[in-house]
């Protein structure tokens, strides 16, 4: 009897503990990892017609243009007021800093930020914190500050891995046995994503480079040597032009180019065409219209589908939870250390697209699906 009672008590105690632990962890999900609630507004919510600020970088790729339109419409449909701004083409950092401050002055309750420069926003996000607003980093992480509450993005490391694998698959399909000669490109150094994409790709490529199966023709394989300032097409075209002159003028074949996105992929292809050389396998990202056409035409080899509609919808879902005083859903609390804290994240899965699966990959996207017919 005593034994049974002890057991019953133990079971009840364990259940109570488990309940407490669950409560604890779901509450923890709603907090910054340093224990503070998101902006102090998480617990109490805010008025359903509040102002939401959305500060996007300059329009360096189509996804940003799309995101702005989707935020304007989606926030309106959800009953919020919105202020959606882009950093200009030059003075991007100062533009964005000023825009965020202005949104806070107008009383925004949440600031969604696609950072123009990951490391240059600590003053503005601190200002957000002090005014009680929640800061959501959108697509690009904001670094070296504790004042970022959440991160919503596609899994950027996975994007890089898919790009590395696509480069390899594409080269194998053309020439089954290595060694393959490649060049590597990465994005703008002020965008935190650039190194993450590159590291993801190198996760696949580095072991093959070490074995000698893949050779970086120019020898430029450090992320710094491969970076394209401002994600600008002209900078990528220029770098490719000089690589072709320095390394591929005496008959060496270039089998593949790791390109971090579609804008740069098309610039690289333009450079190679201009030099009259055979087209290498070139990767990309973003599913931009011109690149999807190029893939279907057999020029660019691959892209990544990061459906902006889903990313914006996920962000608005997060804002609605915050408005209602609930903890937003998080599915990653370990991957994104911004140098000051691990930022709780909601990550979506990216999809690799080549000519072989384009129709299937864009089946739910009428604009892109039409290009695959």
Q: Which residues here bind ligand BGC, judged by CB under 6 A?
A: 60-61, 63, 139-140, 187, 191, 193, 231, 261, 285-286
CB of 311 to ligand BGC, least distance (A): 10
In the numeric block, which tokens belong to residue 245?
């002159």
Q: Which is nearer to ligand BGC, 64 or 248 (CB)?
A: 64
Q: Which is nearer to ligand BGC, 28 or 232 (CB)?
A: 232
Nearest partner of 343 among 199, 174, 183, 149, judged by Cα: 149
CB of 299 to ligand BGC, least distance (A): 19
Contacts of 234 (CB under 8 A, 6+ apart): 267
CB of 305 to ligand BGC, least distance (A): 11
Nearest partner of 115 among 191, 217, 25, 196, judged by Cα: 191
Distances (CA, A) of 263 to 55, 177, 199, 236, 270: 22, 30, 20, 9, 11
CB of 151 to ligand BGC, least distance (A): 12
User: Which DSSP letter does residue 306 get?
Assistant: -
Q: Which is nearer to ligand BGC, 57 or 217 (CB)?
A: 57
Contacts of 80 (CB under 8 A, 6+ apart): 48, 49, 50, 51, 52, 319, 323
Contacts of 273 (CB under 8 A, 6+ apart): 279
Q: Which is nearer to ligand BGC, 74 or 230 (CB)?
A: 230
Q: Which is nearer to ligand BGC, 84 or 214 (CB)?
A: 84
CB of 251 to ligand BGC, least distance (A): 34
In the numeric block, which tokens belong to residue 171?
């080269």
Distances (CA, A) of 359 to 187, 288, 370: 28, 15, 9
Alpha-carbon dihedral 177, 178, 182, 184, rounded to 10 degrees: 100
Q: How many helices (H) and strands (E) does the chain have?
A: 13, 12
CB of 359 to ligand BGC, least distance (A): 22
CB of 158 to ligand BGC, least distance (A): 12
Q: Which is nearer to ligand BGC, 183 or 262 (CB)?
A: 262
Q: Which is nearer to ligand BGC, 139 or 255 (CB)?
A: 139
CA-based end-to-end distance of the chain: 75
């Amino acid at each position: 009897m005593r034994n049974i009672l002890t057991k019953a008590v133990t079971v009840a105690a364990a259940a109570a503990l488990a309940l407490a632990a669950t409560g604890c962890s779901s509450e923890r999900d709603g907090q910054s990892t340093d224990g503070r609630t998101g902006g102090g507004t998480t617990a109490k919510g805010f008025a359903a017609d509040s102002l939401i600020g959305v500060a996007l970088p300059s329009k360096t790729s189509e996804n940003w243009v799309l995101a702005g339109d989707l935020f304007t419409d989606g926030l309106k449909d959800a009953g919020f007021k919105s202020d959606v701004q882009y950093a200009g083409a030059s003075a991007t950092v100062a533009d964005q800093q000023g825009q965020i401050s202005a949104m806070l002055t107008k009383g925004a309750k949440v600031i969604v930020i696609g950072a123009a420069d990951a490391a240059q926003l600590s003053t503005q996000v601190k200002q957000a914190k002090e005014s009680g607003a929640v800061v959501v980093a959108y697509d690009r992480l904001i670094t070296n500050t504790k004042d970022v509450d959440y991160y919503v993005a596609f899994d950027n490391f996975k994007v890089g891995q898919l790009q590395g694998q696509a480069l390899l698959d594409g080269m194998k399909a053309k020439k089954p046995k290595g060694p393959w000669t490649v060049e590597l490109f990465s994005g703008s150094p002020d965008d935190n994503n650039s190194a993450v994409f590159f590291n993801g790709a190198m996760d696949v490529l580095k072991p093959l480079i070490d074995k000698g199966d893949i050779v970086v023709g120019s020898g430029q394989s450090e992320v710094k040597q491969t970076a394209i300032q401002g994600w600008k097409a002209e900078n990528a075209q220029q770098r490719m032009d000089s690589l072709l002159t320095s390394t591929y003028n005496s008959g060496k074949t270039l089998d593949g180019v790791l390109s971090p996105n579609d804008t740069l992929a098309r610039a690289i292809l333009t450079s190679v065409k201009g030099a009259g050389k055979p087209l290498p396998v070139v990767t990309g990202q973003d599913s931009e219209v011109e690149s999807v056409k190029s893939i279907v035409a057999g020029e660019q080899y691959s892209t990544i589908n990061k459906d902006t509609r889903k990313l914006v919808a996920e962000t608005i879902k997060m804002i609605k939870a915050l408005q209602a005083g609930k903890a937003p859903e998080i599915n990653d609390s370990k991957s994104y250390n911004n140098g000051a804290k691990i930022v709780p994240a909601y990550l979506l899965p990216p999809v690799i697209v080549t000519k072989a699966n384009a129709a299937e990959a864009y089946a739910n996207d009428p604009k892109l699906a039409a290009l695959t017919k």
